[in-house]
Structure 1
Amino acid sequence: MNGDLDRLQEVVGLRFNDETLLHRALVHSSFLNENPDFDLASNERLEFLGDALLDFIVGERLYRSFPEMDEGELTKLRAALINAKTLAKFARSMELGDYMRLSRGEDERGGRARAGLLSDAFEALVAAIYLDSGLEAVENFVMPFIEPEAARVLERGLERDHKSRLQEWTQSELRVTPVYRTIKERGPDHAKEFTVEVWVGDTAYGRGEGRTKQAAQQRAAQHALEELAKDDV
């Protein structure tokens, strides 16, 4: 593992009572495949708990901070704040990938920079903080990331749609424009349902269904963004 865990604890703002939890949060499953006798489990169980903690902590903060928002708006805002892309951005800002235990192959393939791996590690770190020091410590760690990100999301508008976000990213990073293909129409004219796939280059990255082609395209774009985040957005 690269990096000094003392330095990481300074970045987190917490001295762990049980450093084993911090170590475990940084163990990717690929490392155990290569080192089966290693004495710690992977971070997958911590990731599960961290995901639930983030949903609760951020959900409660949004509920208290925005009494004028209805359930749908709160859900959209939380989804914009807790997703693989955003959590990976937080992880990169603290250079979390430098501290991870990865297999040699995963490391050589650029795993330390991969969004899916980084977002999982961030969630695992959240869980480790909670198990070590409680909910208040998690809030103290998470909110300096969440609050400015929420301000940015609200400034650009919650209604920025998935298609726009997908096109912005693919044109910026890949120099291609997503292509939407209607692959199925069913039902009578007054109640049609459409199934749409979105292609980025030669790959279908998402599929969506809806009562209109536009709604189906939006869902397909949403799924594509999720898949691209897992790959390396």
Structure 2
Amino acid sequence: MELSNVSAPAASSTRLRLAQGLIVLFHITGFLGLAFSQDKAFYLKYTPLTLLLSAGLLAAFQLERGLLFWLFVMQAFLLGMVAEVVGTNTGLLFGHYTYGATLGPQYMGAPWLIGLNWVITTYLAGILAAYLPLPWWGRVLVGAALMVGFDLCVEPVAGRYDFWHWTGHIIPLRNFRDWALLALVMQLLFVRTPFLKRNPLVPLVYLVQLLFFFGLTLLNG
């Protein structure tokens, strides 16, 4: 019994370190390739794999993956996809933009993976905010701010790497306004869905992704 009690935490710690290593490895490889390789297309084609890997590992380390957790995932995915379809086809949300080929297959102009990206971004920011000793509305505000902060790091290089392209190559201020509004809705959904908000992998994933895009922005001036 004592051996079992000791080995279980050790095995859990080993799995966490392995997952953290994979996250860091994929992002460092991608960063070096996009920043310095002459064949950036080779590294860009692995963007969907990196996104799916991150999502899978985050799900694996989510404590208690019950029905309510998957309900949140489904609702956030659908809400994100609807917003992106409306945005790409009407310009009523975010502004006028089109998606490139990097994020893979699309539905009505919006990649399926962008819906997953909304889930991941909402989840990462929500988990980080959940660690703070704040009332629920405070966590909603902090989570939304973390989401907008992430978008601020991605936007400057999105067009360069064929994620999405703005009409006239100018990022409109309304993009950040609408991002903030949708982020508030997403965080409200996250906070009000009663599942355990704990995941030991989240801090590293958020930090690595933030540094990844911030570093690319600095290098591309």
- What's the TM-score, normalizing by structure 1? 0.31
Q: Which protein has the bigger strand share?
A: 1
Relative to its length, the structure with more helix (as a share) is 2
Larger radius of gyration: 1
Point out which structure has higher relative CO (alpha carbons under 8 A, 6+ apart).
Answer: 2
